[in-house]
């Protein structure tokens, strides 16, 4: 089944809800091209498709998970930002791209769940003023263990977010 609607067994402690949409194995080629094949427009397309098939969330804004400055320079774009812009086109919600910043960390592809959680500790900071008591939907492209979304969720909570809803296009 290509549409997973996965609700992870272990909820993310920092988030009010957490959900991934598609099964990663079914969309692996597309995800790889979006992330590493210089095809960011695939993220925008997936964002629009998600928004057309899901109800508009009761949030104040969409927040893409940021890349570290080094990784952003290497790739030239943030695929999560493209996803959020696709969502915003349909839902009419603002995209807050400057709220979170991420410190550079080694790639997580070869790390297990515990290693990913440790690597993400303190990785995110809130770089601009976050409106107090705001409700946000936090977006990642792929959810593997949830460590990245959870760490970003805590950073947002620590700076006044009243509600954080984590979403990902695909889940491994």
State the CATH number of the domain containing residue 44. 3.40.50
pLDDT tens track for 6-27: 444 447 889 999 999 998 888 9
Q: What pLDDT is attached to residue 9?
A: 40
**pLDDT score of 136 more than 90:** yes
The answer to whether residue 159 is domain-embedded is yes
The answer to whether residue 4 is domain-embedded is no
The answer to whether residue 42 is domain-embedded is yes
The answer to whether residue 2 is domain-embedded is no
- Alpha-carbon distance 103 to 70, whole Å? 9
10 Å CB burial of residue 62 (0-12, 13-18, 19+) is buried
The answer to whether residue 10 is domain-embedded is no
What is the number of structural domains in the chain?
Answer: 1
Q: What pLDDT is attached to residue 1?
A: 35
pLDDT tens track for 47-101: 999 999 999 999 999 999 999 899 899 999 999 999 999 999 999 999 999 999 8
- Alpha-carbon distance 18 to 120, whole Å? 18
Which residue is it, tokens 């889940």?
Answer: 171
Using DSSP, state whether 108 is helix, strand or coil. coil
Terminal Cα distance for the chain, rounded: 13
Using DSSP, state whether 79 is helix, strand or coil. helix
The answer to whether residue 67 is domain-embedded is yes
Q: What pLDDT is attached to residue 53?
A: 96
pLDDT tens track for 150-167: 999 999 999 999 999 999
Domain ranges, residue 130: 15-171
**pLDDT score of 110 more than 80:** no
The answer to whether residue 129 is domain-embedded is yes
């Amino acid at each position: 089944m290509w549409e997973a609607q996965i609700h992870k067994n272990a909820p993310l402690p920092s988030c009010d809800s957490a959900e991934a949409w598609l099964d990663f194995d079914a969309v692996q080629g597309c995800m790889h091209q979006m992330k590493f094949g210089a095809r960011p427009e695939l993220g925008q397309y997936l964002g629009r498709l998600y928004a057309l098939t899901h109800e508009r969330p009761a949030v104040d804004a969409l927040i893409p998970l940021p890349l570290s400055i080094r990784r952003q320079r290497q790739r030239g774009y943030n695929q999560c930002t493209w996803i959020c812009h696709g969502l915003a086109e349909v839902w009419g919600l603002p995209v807050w791209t400057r709220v979170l910043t991420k410190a550079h960390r080694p790639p997580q592809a070869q790390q297990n769940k515990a290693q990913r959680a440790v690597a993400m500790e303190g990785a995110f900071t809130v770089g601009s003023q976050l409106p107090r008591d705001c409700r946000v939907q936090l977006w990642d492209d792929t959810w593997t263990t949830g460590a990245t979304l959870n760490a970003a969720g805590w950073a947002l909570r620590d700076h006044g977010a009243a509600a954080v809803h984590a979403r990902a296009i695909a889940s491994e």
